[in-house]
Amino acid sequence: MADANDVGNVAEPVFIEGRSMVILYGSETGNGEEIATELGKMAERLHFQTVVDEMDSFKLTDLLRASMAVFVTSTTGQGDMPKNTLKFWKSLRRERLNHTNCLGAVKFTIFGLGDSSYPKFNWAARKLRARLLQLGASEAFKAGEADERHDNGIDSIYLPWQQEFRAALLANYPLPEDIQPIPDDVQLPPKYLLRLAPTMTARDQPSNDQEASSLTEEERRFFATKSLSAALTHVDRPRSKAEQVHDVDPPRRKADFPAHIARSDGNWEQKNGRQADLLDRDNVIKDHPEKYLLQKAHHTAKSLPPPDLIPIPNSSVALVIRNERVTPEDHWQDVRHISLLADVRPGFPRCLAGATITIYPKNYPEDVQTLIDLMGWNGTADKPLAWGYASEPSALRAHVGYPRPRRLHVDQDRDTTLRDLLTHNLDITAIPKRNFIRELAFFTDDVREQERLRELAAYGNEQEFYDYTSRPRRTIIELLQDFPRVRIPWNRALDLFPIIRGRLFSVCNGAESVPPRATAVEVEILVALVEYKTIIRKPRQGLASRYLKHLPENTHIRVSFNSSDSLPETDKVTAQRPLIAVATGTGIAPIRALIQDRSAFADQGPTLLFFGCRNRRADFYFHDEWDMRGNIEVHAAFSRDPVKPSEARDLDPYGEDELWPSRQDRQKTPPKVEKPSFATTGLHVYDYDKGKNYVQHHIRKHAQRVGELMRQDPIIAVCGTGGRMSVSVRNALFDAMILSGVVKTREEAQKFLSDPQRCLYWQETW
């Protein structure tokens, strides 16, 4: 086993004065962070002193320290900046910076990640670039814009852009003749190293005055009174200040920490908004009962993740009160209606419509043990860890001061082991990224494995990389099983494995489900579990899907809530506006929340709902609710149910067969009605999806009704699977506006939907 302080044979970048780079990213799903990390390693190989971090960790003045700044950002929502850029973006937008040329010394380039199915494609990168130029920064290299909807994904734009950027750096920042770039087959130094923590229990009393002087006040009190403790006590270390807080007996205290209920009446109190009484020590305990076993319960291969929760900033603990499958057992997809009981805390969304909930999943014990066995980590897996830098921070990164990855959160009041990190923090079942595969080549002594790993990650080999990783949804564990000679040192785990990201789900209940002045609220989500088969025989399951599928009721989980920045809060005025809602599949979740929010007002505008799914019997979610509500008109499209011939004609009322009733008539005389076309009006009705039963067909079928509501300052909400659906729906809305006479051309329709004075267009797709 490698020494904890051994980082192997690495090549340190040579320090060259005036050669430094900061790469700042904004990312919601991790793609932006991954690209920023790759660019950082590329820059290090060119001997740039490099820092890679999220935008919000930097101040504008920090940019002036570097020779070059690179910005990588995705676009979220309706052209919005990612959350970890908002602080930085706010500082950039300060009015007093206008006309100051304050960034005149900054050279930058920017790479954006977007989704062309959204109207405001790569809007965040474009806004950021425009503001940097406005403040005097100079663009040292052309901007790049990747499209997630491209057939080959973001790599189709990113990889060529990266190669050109590298060439530009060498041209504009030439290396001295005696210094060459670090080759790709030479390892760079790690950013983070794990170390074993020095341990001291009650049996390890200080042996001399020098050791005793290094103890904390809590430790000194503990050892001074140890002889007075009960002989059978299990306490072998002093309790921390955070733990002592819960030993105090205040009159009453809200249960805002993960208290575990030992009796059913405690569950009733939480569910009905009453505060748990912490004086009732028999009923509420701080730790899960498993913690009090004399011998820790052994997790079998089929056991669930452990119940303990790690602290995550701005999160809370929620109780699972329902986990119900809403699709038939014989249906191909498992869709869950999950209800959570959550505390109403500061920052809780005032309006649930458009809000999302982030759930933090865990890895299963069997997967964790599989990885430990593969890597030979059994001797270290359960020992306490310490945190530290792999090397001393440079002057450029001294202000960062973060000894572990930013999104890695651990309980500071308890020991953390490698097994804990693999369970709660590291995404060991993720699809491996290119950089991960490239790094593995340094940890195998098999030459053929080294060559194969480097070949997979090589530039120009994108199709093979995709076929091996994303196409079969191969996991990191399966990759390591395919390369049995790979042995990652345990102390490099943080440097290689990605951090588990919370999964976002749309809230599907609204204000009418939230009692006024409630201290605890029931929040509902509709989750389509990610389960499928690929060319790999073992069925695929997403990390969050597997976690949620087997989540028992009365389980505590870690969650956080996020308000919508693009959908205004429903009030008396907005409730009176007509709602044109289009949803497919589980996209009905945010639509349902919006409808419920509007139902809280007596005076509300009409709702026109177009809903698409496969079958009326299997996945027509919440259909019973629509029948019970007034003032709502529902048109459902069941794409896999058979369509009657008469209904098929109704789905394409402007189609060729309707304008030319028969082939015989077509041959006799020309048609009396001129066929609309894309060339004359911009109509897309003839271009594709003919003969199908999708929501866009029903939008065109009811064009007159759509046009009627379009004239009344409507709210338009489009939710569901992204890509082709959202583009098709937008085109259908253009067609409906033309056919109903609201506008005359496609260009006018585009301007209409983009004008906030005429309608509010909200899209939530994934």
- Chain segment 499-519, per-residue pLDDT in tens: 999 999 999 998 776 677 778
pLDDT in tens, 108-144: 999 999 988 888 889 999 999 999 999 999 999 999 9
Average pLDDT over residues 446-450: 96
Average pLDDT over residues 232-257: 42
- CATH class (in words) of the domain with range 365-390+419-496: mainly alpha
Domains 20-172 and 365-390+419-496 share a fold: no
For the chain, helix (H) and strand (E) counts, in that order, are 28, 23
pLDDT at 541: 83
Angle at 77 between CA 73 and CA 80, to 5 degrees: 50
pLDDT at 675: 47
User: From the CB of residue 682, how many other CB atoms can be counted at a distance below 10 Å?
Assistant: 21
Q: Which residue has the tokens 């030993």?
A: 247
Q: Tell me the fold of 574-765.
A: Rossmann fold (3.40.50)
What lies within 8 Å, CB to CB, of 87 at 6+ separation is 55, 56
Q: Which residue has the tokens 């866009």?
A: 696
Confidence of residue 263 (pLDDT cuts 50, 70, 90): very low
Q: 430 is written with which tokens?
A: 């993720």
Which amino acid is present at 682? G
Average pLDDT over residues 296-309: 66
Average pLDDT over residues 65-89: 92
Confidence of residue 19 (pLDDT cuts 50, 70, 90): very high
Distances in Å between the alpha carbon of 183 and those of 8, 44, 452? 16, 11, 17
Residue 392 has pLDDT above 80, yes or no: no
User: From the CB of residue 256, how many other CB atoms can be counted at a distance below 10 Å?
Assistant: 12
What's the CATH architecture for 264-362+500-565? Beta Barrel (2.40)
Q: Where are the domains of the chain?
A: 20-172, 264-362+500-565, 365-390+419-496, 574-765
Residue 420 has pLDDT above 90, yes or no: yes
Residue 275 has pLDDT above 70, yes or no: no
DSSP 428-476: TTSPPPHHHHHHHGGGB--HHHHHHHHHHTSTT-HHHHHHHTTTTT--H
Which amino acid is present at 190? P
- In the chain the first and final C-alpha atoms are separated, in Å, by 43
φ, ψ at 701 (rounded to 5°): -60, -40
Rounded-to-integer distance, Cα 72 and Cα 80, Å = 14
What b/e sequence results for 274-292 when a residue is b if at least 16 CB atoms lie within 10 Å of its CB, and e otherwise?
A: eebebeeeebbbeeeeeee
pLDDT at 100: 93
pLDDT at 299: 40
Residue 670 has pLDDT above 50, yes or no: no
Helix or strand or coil: residue 220? helix
Q: What percent of the chain has pLDDT over 90?
A: 57
Q: Which residue has the tokens 């093979």?
A: 464
pLDDT in tens, 606-665: 999 999 999 999 999 999 998 888 789 999 999 999 877 767 666 665 554 443 344 444
What lies within 8 Å, CB to CB, of 183 at 6+ separation is 45
Q: Which of 40-49, 183-192, 426-435 has the lowest mean pLDDT?
A: 183-192
Q: Which of 100-114, 121-135, 217-231, 476-490 has the lowest mean pLDDT?
A: 217-231
DSSP 163-187: HHHHHHHHHHSPPPTT--PPPTTSP
pLDDT at 441: 96
pLDDT in tens, 289-298: 444 444 444 4
pLDDT at 123: 93
Of 213-217, 278-282, 556-560, highest mean pLDDT:
556-560
Confidence of residue 686 (pLDDT cuts 50, 70, 90): very low
More confident residue, 11 or 648: 11
Residue 185 has pLDDT above 50, yes or no: yes
Mean pLDDT of the chain: 82
Confidence of residue 540 (pLDDT cuts 50, 70, 90): confident
pLDDT at 487: 97
Q: 1 is written with which tokens?
A: 């086993």
Q: Tell me the fold of 20-172.
A: Rossmann fold (3.40.50)
Listed in order, strand segments (DSSP E) in 587-675 are 607-613, 632-638
The answer to whether 459 touches 163, Cβ cutoff 8 Å, is yes
pLDDT at 657: 46
